Amino acid sequence: MDNRWIFSRRRFLEITGTAAAALFFPPDLLAGNGEKSRLRFGMLSDIHYADREPSGIRFYRQSISKMNDCIERLNREKLDFVIELGDFKDQDEVPSEPNTLKYLSEIEAAFHKFNGSTYHVLGNHDVDGISKSQFLERVENSGIPKSESSYSFTRRGIQFLVLDANFTKEGKEYDHGNFSWDDSLIPESQLRWLKSELNSNQSPAIVFIHQMLDDSVNVKQAVQNATEVRQVLEQSGKVICVFQGHVHEERYNQINGIHYYSVNAMVDGDGAENSAWMIVDVHKNGDLSIEGFRRATNREFIK
């Protein structure tokens, strides 16, 4: 079975415009074959660390050794940053706020062994037993104020946007587990911010979110107003792809020229071989490729 997913260089040029693309990818590089990267970053999702017994295929306690294995490997690479896509920590079967905060601090310490910039996407389990502010106060998003759960940053001419869908359909923030896993929303204020950020420059953009913005498999797993969010992304004409977690498995969809990729969970499976993480390369000619480790597979978005 061919495991390549195709991302067209032609589509990249449609997104950026030839003139805009040339600002970030010089003409001699646009004609290249994409073998050398413009930018490289590490990515992982759904770590669910807690010092508790396994439940089903979730081996919570092993996530810290899996994280150490992941970061040790990523530190051998020349990466611009590493990002995790949410559900960073978990909690005891009988929730204890002190223990939950302890698990968060322990997994953050392991994640922070990466020798470079680190970023977090807020997931629903990140506010099991604690508040968003408690989570954000204890993690480091490089160069981002502690109060911001949705934010953007730019690396090497690429704009990266992190979304927070941890709101109920009434627009109420998740807090101490007051949510259902299938009830998530991007509130109107964040939609306005997203439009503004996408309009702020001509850079091609990549979006990170925990819950799903495409509803190709199960509508319950998608953000309640996913259609509206996708319209904002599409209208910008500059979004290459959206990376997602939440569903613990690799899924791919393409909607109106934007690629949606959900990734494997680190927590699932017994033993180091059942971990998952990846390196994403944004090539100089606009192609994207993913090198998967452990259960994560290799993918290519190529012309």
CATH number for the domain that contains residue 158: 3.60.21.10
pLDDT of residue 286: 65
**pLDDT 10s per residue in the chain (303 long)?**
334 444 444 444 454 454 444 444 433 333 334 456 689 999 999 999 999 999 999 999 999 999 999 999 999 999 999 999 999 999 999 999 999 999 999 999 999 999 999 999 999 999 999 999 999 999 999 999 999 999 999 999 899 999 999 999 888 999 998 888 788 999 999 999 999 999 998 889 999 999 999 974 555 678 989 999 999 999 999 999 999 999 999 998 889 989 899 999 999 999 999 999 999 998 877 678 999 999 999 988 764
> Strand pairing of 258-262 and 239-244?
parallel
DSSP lists the bridge partners of residue 120 as 84
Scan for tokens 């990140």, then name that residue. 126
Let me know if residue 36 belongs to a domain.
yes
Scan for tokens 């939609």, then name that residue. 191
pLDDT of residue 201: 87
Distance in angstroms (rounded) separating the CA atoms of residues 218 and 247: 10
Name residues whose C-beta falls within 8 Å of residue 98's C-beta, 6 or more positions apart in sequence.
none
3-state secondary structure of 132: helix
Structural domain that includes position 225: 9-301
Instruction: Count up the domains in the chain and report the number.
Output: 1
Distance in angstroms (rounded) separating the CA atoms of residues 298 and 279: 9
Contact 49, 90 (CB under 8 A): yes
pLDDT of residue 171: 87
Contact 231, 186 (CB under 8 A): no
Scan for tokens 């195709």, then name that residue. 6
Let me know if residue 264 belongs to a domain.
yes
Let me know if residue 208 belongs to a domain.
yes
Let me know if residue 15 belongs to a domain.
yes
Distance in angstroms (rounded) separating the CA atoms of residues 107 and 65: 10
Contact 246, 87 (CB under 8 A): yes
Q: Of 245, 152, 262, nearest to 197 (Cα)?
A: 152
Scan for tokens 């030839």, then name that residue. 18
Let me know if residue 4 belongs to a domain.
no
pLDDT of residue 254: 87
Let me know if residue 2 belongs to a domain.
no
